[in-house]
Amino acid sequence: MPYTTYLVEKGASHSFVAEAKPPTVTMPRIKALMTGSLPGFIDVVRNLNSPALLEDNVITQAKAAGKRMIFYGDETWVKLFPQHFVEYDGTTSFFVSDYTEVDDNVTRHLDKVLKRGDWDVLILHYLGLDHIGHISGPSSPLIGHKLSEMDNILMKIHTSLLSEERENLSPNLLVLCGDHGMSETGSHGASSMEEVNTPLILISSAFERKPGDIRHPKHVQQTDLAATLAIGLGLPIPENSVGSLLFPSIEGRPVREQLRFLHLNAVQLSKLLQENVPSYKKGSNPAPAQHPASTEQQG
Ligand SMILES: [Zn+2]
């Protein structure tokens, strides 16, 4: 993936290795990416009736804020967010033997949608790479071709976003990530390192770097993306998110703004802690010891 590699090593980007918690399968991982939380029992019970995601999440918040969202790819997203996209085209992942049509069904929309200026968020979920894993494993000769195809798609999107920015001054954010990894045999669901480690790359002209600025990918949690997207889009952080704002994404902002973003994340996390940990009491720390001098004065 020469273009992606260039962006990771020298471009205006921040790269991470994001850890996905098991089960490393698509639906719970999309939930983790968008809610910042790890699915609990309540979620399982609710989902017996409808797969729609009822827990607070970035997509629902974005819709409430009037953002126009478009989705193409794995239909799991359409099931989780049935009324959220102004336009969508879901692809079934049922035919694992197909690794061409599933992706062409996403890519065929690209040229048109990238020219349109009527959306705020575009989500694409490609299935082909996962399907190749299931068919013939991570060392398959098909993998190279598929990664090259994905690299060209990333270049097309990035180039289009950059040319759009020349007219519209505010920077875009391009996020490249996987929902889960792939084991030595090409499957997933369990907790091996290959299954839980996923790439997460944030690309934006706001992350401009000077030559020689080496940025090593940090290990983070998959659940950190929700808080980061919420802050980036000016939305409330989903209430059950356990994630931390990915700090490199705000490093270039004025210090006052950085502090405000960190404060928003801290307030949300402490609220979550207060509601879920019975022993948590605000201000339950022992009172600070009095200064000896003041005791003397009072005495
Ligand atoms: Zn799969």
Task: Name the nearest CA neighbour of 13 among 209, 257, 294.
Answer: 209
Q: What's the CA-to-centroid distance between 125 and ligand 1, angstroms?
A: 12
Residue 202 has pLDDT above 60, yes or no: yes
3 state SS of 124: strand
Q: What's the CA-to-centroid distance between 94 and ligand 1, angstroms?
A: 10
Give residue 39's Cα distance to chain centre: 16
Mean pLDDT calculated for residue range 3-20 = 97
Mean pLDDT calculated for residue range 172-189 = 96
C-alpha 174/C-alpha 256 separation (Å) is 25
Q: What's the CA-to-centroid distance between 22 and ligand 1, angstroms?
A: 14
- Joined together, the tokens standing for residue 44 give 């399982």
Model confidence band, residue 43 (pLDDT cutoffs 50, 70, 90) = low
State the first-to-last Cα distance of the chain, in angstroms, to the nearest integer.
74
Q: Which domains does the chain have, with CATH numbers?
A: 2-222 (3.40.720.10)
Q: What's the CA-to-centroid distance between 227 and ligand 1, angstroms?
A: 26
The mean-pLDDT minimum among 19-23, 46-50, 229-233, 244-248 falls in 46-50
Model confidence band, residue 247 (pLDDT cutoffs 50, 70, 90) = very high
Q: What's the CA-to-centroid distance between 233 and ligand 1, angstroms?
A: 30
Question: Taking the C-alpha atoms of 35, 37, 41 and 43 in order, what is their torsion angle to the nearest 10 degrees?
Answer: 0
Q: What's the CA-to-centroid distance between 181 and ligand 1, angstroms?
A: 9
Q: What's the CA-to-centroid distance between 128 and ligand 1, angstroms?
A: 9
Q: What's the CA-to-centroid distance between 208 and ligand 1, angstroms?
A: 35
Pairing of strands 218-221, 13-19: parallel
Q: What's the CA-to-centroid distance between 260 and ligand 1, angstroms?
A: 39
Q: What's the CA-to-centroid distance between 223 and ligand 1, angstroms?
A: 20
Cβ-contact 68, 58 below 8 angstroms: no
pLDDT for 271 equals 94
Q: What's the CA-to-centroid distance between 187 and ligand 1, angstroms?
A: 6
Cβ-contact 250, 258 below 8 angstroms: yes
C-alpha 192/C-alpha 80 separation (Å) is 27
Model confidence band, residue 294 (pLDDT cutoffs 50, 70, 90) = very low
Q: What's the CA-to-centroid distance between 24 and ligand 1, angstroms?
A: 9
